Amino acid sequence: MGSENGQRLLIVGDGNCSIGTEKPRSVQTEGGLNEQSERSKCATGLLRSDHGSSFTEGGNKMNSLTLSRRGLLSLGGAAILSACLPSGRASGGRGYVPSDPAPVPVPNAGWDAWVDGFMSRASAKGIPQGTLDAAFRAAGFLPEVIEKDRNQTEFNRTLEDYLNIAASDERVSLGREKFAQFGKVLAALESRYGVERQVVAAIWGLESFFGTRRGNVPVVSALSTLAYEGRRGEFFEGQLVAALKILQSGDISPGAMTGSWAGAMGHTQFIPTSYLAYAVDFTGDGRRDIWSEDPSDALASTASYLARSGWTSGLPWGMEVTLPSGFDAGLLGRGKGKSANDWASLGVRAAGGGSLAGGSIIAGGNSGGAPYFLLTQNFATILRYNNAQNYAIGVGHLSDRLLGRGAVRASFGPDAAGMTKADRQDLQRMLTAKGFDTGSTDGVIGAKTRAAISAYEASFGLPITGEPTLMLLQRLR
């Protein structure tokens, strides 16, 4: 994604989910991650880094928690954008929409033997035999989980693309609806935890499309399959033990403990260790139920996480800013924070008017220029939830849109292929008109658009690249 922050981001384009990568930052990963390849049309969130990082915002050095919200799952980085549109968009009943049929266990003698050995290790860690028996009674080996773990499509995504997905018309529309529907709950959470309601709602929106994509994979089966497979066995075995502790506590039954193929659960996609550390029983029914149709406990758990990670009430996450002509580009970058007064004295202004805040300014454009974003200490706190720069900007921007604010004002400029968003949209429209369906005309080049380009190239005997170019656009015109 052209970001300095380094992690993997689940992204969606043309209604398909795929993984983008950002360059590694100072965070160690579990080998790559994020959101499930195609994420079964967005089957829910993934894992983050358990290792954290150190950075400076607003002139203050901040060290991320040793245990961040998620242990980074996958293949190269962290961060998700559960930014997928549910199949059929976000219309209809607006409730939970299973993305695909739940994977079916298959017999596997190696997995059976691994479980026998694991039972002894789990018992030694205090898991009662009754909990183990109940958890594994219907569990089994899931080859689909291994397939998804090993075959994650990667695309580099710009911040422009990421924000087009994170704050798509569908996501903003559904988000405002949910923001109103659960307004009283969100207001109560803001009062209790000091975390602004729109930020909690925005995380909900990115992690599970406001609860419509929570995942339907049995968590015990998924985690035991990944632990048995061995590529990140120690990590996933630790998550499995934590999942058993959740079952032991009675918060959820084995059959109802579902999530993503990598074990992230509920409306805001907690992995089991993070659940044990931060989950909250906000409704007072004796269970920390982040799986329920009622998102109250999940939203409260997210607010609790942010509050305990250093959220400052009343401080914005950041804002788009304008820079004066001749501004010293050497002042840009994370870790180069200044006070609001210092920035104002240098000619920096809030793009939407109003007051500045202290923090660092980064360039978000496709070529390193505008738009510019001023990022505060609360941006750093969002990074503790998911240590990926684009994700955190996505949360902030979506939170602004939920309040009725507008899109990013400045143009992102041409991309690496020299194409503007309008060019990419024209390309998608013309391909679709010629019978090569791109699935969407949002200007985000995802798997369906690349497949349409490849099909068009093949039909005319051209070299098959699947890449959007100005030359291809001219040919279509």
pLDDT reported for residue 100: 77
pLDDT reported for residue 257: 98
Reported residue count of the chain is 477
- Under CATH, which architecture does the 1-157+199-305 domain have? Orthogonal Bundle (1.10)
3-state helix, strand, coil in the chain (%, to 5): 40, 10, 50
DSSP collapsed to 3 states, 404-420:
CCCCCCCCCCCCCCCCC
pLDDT reported for residue 373: 98
The answer to whether residues 162 and 9 touch, using CB atoms and an 8 Å cutoff, is: yes
* Beta bridge pairs of residue 61: 56
pLDDT reported for residue 285: 97
CA distance 72 to 391: 15
pLDDT reported for residue 99: 62
**Residue 3 in tokens:** 């970001």
Tell me if the pTM is above 0.95.
no
111 to 141, 220, 328: CA distances (angstroms): 6, 13, 59
| DSSP sequence for 347-408 | T-EETTSS---SBEEEE-STTS-SSEEEE-HHHHHHHHHS--HHHHHHHHHHHHHHTT----
pLDDT reported for residue 3: 32
316 to 11, 266, 354, 395: CA distances (angstroms): 25, 27, 12, 12
44 to 202, 214, 421, 472: CA distances (angstroms): 15, 5, 27, 34
Alpha helices in 209-321 (DSSP H): 219-229, 233-249, 272-278, 296-308
Cis peptide before 463 (omega within 30 of 0): no
pLDDT reported for residue 95: 62
pLDDT tens string, the chain, 477 residues long: the values are 333 333 333 333 333 333 233 332 222 222 222 333 222 223 333 333 332 333 333 433 333 333 344 344 333 333 344 434 443 333 334 566 656 789 999 999 999 999 999 999 999 999 999 999 999 999 999 999 999 998 866 567 899 999 999 999 999 999 999 999 999 999 999 999 999 999 999 999 999 999 999 999 999 999 999 999 988 999 999 999 999 999 999 999 999 999 999 999 999 999 999 999 999 999 999 999 999 999 999 999 999 999 999 999 999 999 999 999 999 999 999 999 999 999 999 999 999 999 999 999 999 999 999 999 999 999 999 999 999 999 999 999 999 999 999 999 999 999 999 999 999 999 999 999 999 999 999 999 999 999 999 999 999 999 999 999 999 999 999
Domain boundaries, given as residue ranges, for the chain: 1-157+199-305, 421-476
The answer to whether residues 215 and 265 touch, using CB atoms and an 8 Å cutoff, is: yes
Alpha helices in 403-463 (DSSP H): 421-433, 447-459
The answer to whether residues 438 and 426 touch, using CB atoms and an 8 Å cutoff, is: no
